[in-house]
A and B are shown apart, each in its own frame.
Chain A
Amino acid sequence: MASSASRFDDGTFVGFARRHVFVTVFGVAVPLLVFACFIGYPIVYTIYLSFFEWNGMAPQKKFVGFANYAYLLHDKYFYIALVNNAKWLVVSLVFPVSLGFLIAYVMKARLVFAPSLLRTIVFFPVTMSLIAVGLMFLLILNPVFGAFDTLLRSVGLGFLVHEWFGDYRIALYTLAVISGWAFTGMPMIFYFAGLGDVPKETFDAARIEGAGHWRMIRSVALPQLRPVTAIIVMLTLFESLRAFDLIAVLTKGAPFGMTNVLGYLVYMESFWNSRFGYGAALSVVILVIAGSLAALLLGKVLKGAFDV
């Protein structure tokens, strides 16, 4: 701030550090050190390890060059996981994000009674652990005793009853939808806050022009909310790259690796198959995907979001 300007504040780090010793030590140096040890170094070490073969125990790691990456290119399970991540992402963008927007809009437009109650109900699962959510739906979706299939049978839709977690064609979608159920509250509150920031006059002007809700959403709300959408899309991208908990508690990648995603494949290869080098190579792939997505989005979207 301008208040602390002095002859030392010449915009260089040394000048700043001399003027603000306390802030430099505890506000910059200590956090950076901690960051370097627990976040920076692990990233670098993962890249390093991806060029080695290691079972996690042996004192010597064997240098294998790009062998892990060459293996990866022919690994069927890698491609299954990659495609599953893409499917997961599409489900996440379609279901929780658009539904979250719809709920926020309908509440803001005062089309429903008790909007705050609905908001609370939809937001609550955001605070639940995905392990608990997963177990909950394991019970609800049980083909014999579960509430969902019982409901389907009782309304004459018994032909829809499935092994929701066992059928390889739908298991992944079951997981992604459950994840969406738990995530919807997030886009909802972001859009709700975003809609609150749109000047009321903008909506009023459109209403005077005779715009219906469909037009209002398409021509006013969505364009105005583009920055919010960008943040949500980014959050969703990273959430789907992180997908792990539901798979660990519900399917462990089964049946036949059809529900595996990259985040879980890394864990399996490293800690179950003891192929730490290969696990590291898979990690690097995730990092590259996450990094390029972040660069792409950050450059475009968050430019100006921080007043830096």
Chain B
Amino acid sequence: MSDATLNASAMRRGSFASVLPKLAATLLMLVLAAVWLGPLLLIVMTSIKSNAEFLAGPFALPRSPTIQPYIDVWFGLGFGTLLRNSLIYATAGSALAVTLALVPAFALSRMNVPGRKWIFGLLLTGLMLPQQTVLIPLYDTLRTFHLLDTKIGLIIVHGVYGMPLQVLILRGFMTTIPPEIEKAAYVEGATDFQVFWKVILPLSVPGILVGYTLNFIAIWKEFVFGLVFLNSEENFPVTVGMLKLNSDRYLAVFNLPAAGLVISQLPIVILFILTYRQISGGNLSGAVKG
């Protein structure tokens, strides 16, 4: 049977009919690579052109690259502050989300919690909820606690709305820890807390890092909450602050907005390079599939 397979594939490999799909696929992939990489490269290129070079057209290579647009957006348009704010929101918000999610994930992965169907239902509700539908009451709640237009208020909201996905991701990870490990601890007379703190938590560090990174990126991308719950520019995350780039004043020459949007994604690019394997390795689908 294996001979037949080999023969068949050898014959197919040589024939034109088997080269054709490969050729078509490769061509298609080249086009796709251009479509996905092209815009990014063009924008980076635009961002290092001087005003005069910009007029030479979008495809002209920058002859004398300049970082002036970056200096202008960093100091002139306050991108330093915006990036710092986004960093605060993403760091603290993700920490809160993961912290809230740890024990629930532990319970749902290791124990037979009664009513877990309902808990999963709630988690999915939190996950799927279109945020626009709860803006008004959240706005009201934050106003009641004097948390409108404060960093703390937005961090809390980010933390709570990040929690459901974190529970699923961490639970998915904790399920892979073999039960024998904690069985031994229970036999020794350990309490739930000790098992959680001394056994499961240290073993879950890789999962926590993945969850934290995904949440960090999610908060960095987030826009609606920041737009509605904040008023003063000194609190804006970069997604809200960079809206001003879309105005005729800055769109006369494209290098300034281009530099602004490149800067706004730079921390994520770095994080992406560092963690690409972890965050794209099907961890998300793993969380859903359990």
**Which positions in A face B, CB cutoff 8 Å?**
1, 3-4, 9, 11-13, 15-16, 20-23, 26-28, 30-32, 34-35, 37-43, 45-46, 49, 56, 99, 102-103, 106, 111-113, 117-125, 127-132, 135-140, 142, 145-147, 150-151, 181, 184-185, 189-190, 192-194, 196, 204, 207-208, 210, 212-213, 228, 231, 234, 238, 241-242, 244-245, 248-250, 262-264, 266-267, 270-271, 276, 279-280, 283-284, 286-287, 290, 294, 298, 305-308
Contacts and interface: CB of A to CB of B under 8 A. Distances in A.
Given A41-B141, A307-B290, A106 B25 contact: yes
B221 A193 contact: no
A305 B114 contact: no
B223 A245 contact: yes
Return the 7 tightest CB-CB contacts between A and B, nearest first. Answer: A193-B282, A27-B107, A42-B134, A42-B137, A283-B133, A147-B58, A111-B25
Contacts of A306: 120, 290
Contacts of B280: 119-120, 123, 185, 189
Contacts of A117: 33
Contacts of B257: 135, 138-139
Nearest to A11: B114
A82 B242 CA distance: 29
A285 to B, nearest CB: 9
A145 B58 contact: yes
Contact of B132 (A1, A138, A192, A244): A244
Interface of B: 4-5, 8-9, 21-22, 25-26, 28-29, 32-33, 35-40, 42-43, 46, 54, 57-59, 100-101, 103-104, 106-108, 110-117, 119-120, 122, 124-126, 128-138, 140-141, 156-157, 160-161, 163, 167, 179, 182-183, 186, 191-193, 196, 217, 220-224, 227-228, 238-240, 242-243, 245-246, 251, 254, 257-258, 260-261, 264-265, 268, 271-272, 276, 279-282, 284-286, 288-290
Nearest to A21: B192
B268 A41 contact: no
Contacts of B25: 106, 111-112
A304 to B, nearest CB: 10
A128 B268 contact: yes
